[in-house]
Amino acid sequence: MPLVRLQTSATLDDEQRRALAQRLSSATAWLLGKPESYLMVVIEPPATMLMGGEDAPAAYLDVRAVGTISAEQAGALSREYAKILVTALNIDPERIFTTYTGVPASHWAHGDKTFG
């Protein structure tokens, strides 16, 4: 069950938010080789962000998945996320931070059962 959580200072209306969530979901499922039916995308309300002391639009993505995320997958996801956010939010790619975390299956649950 991958989770993609996006925090951004860019303002989105509901339609933009849904479209962006769908693009992030599809890209993540495809590049991680996971079924999209188990994937969750959370786009948090606009956040106050300073990056390098500047308040220009910025974004932070926190990506988690059961098991590991390889260096190759992280690189491919980073490139795809940058394309998506540049297009959807007009954010300079230098103002996007992303972290990747692999979580042991025994530490991730869906409903009332863990994956491990």
pLDDT at 8: 96
Query: Could you report the per-residue pLDDT of 8-59, keeping only the tens digit for each?
Result: 999 999 999 999 999 999 999 999 999 999 899 999 988 899 999 999 999 9
pLDDT at 14: 94
Structural domain containing residue 79: 3-114
Structural domain count of the chain: 1
Specify the higher pLDDT residue, 94 or 116.
94
Q: What is the mean pLDDT of the chain?
A: 94
List, in sequence order, the alpha helices (H) in the chain: 14-32, 71-89
pLDDT at 115: 86
CATH, residue 102 = 3.30.429.10
Q: Is the pLDDT of residue 5 over 90?
A: yes
Cα dihedral 51, 29, 72, 94, rounded to 10, equals -20
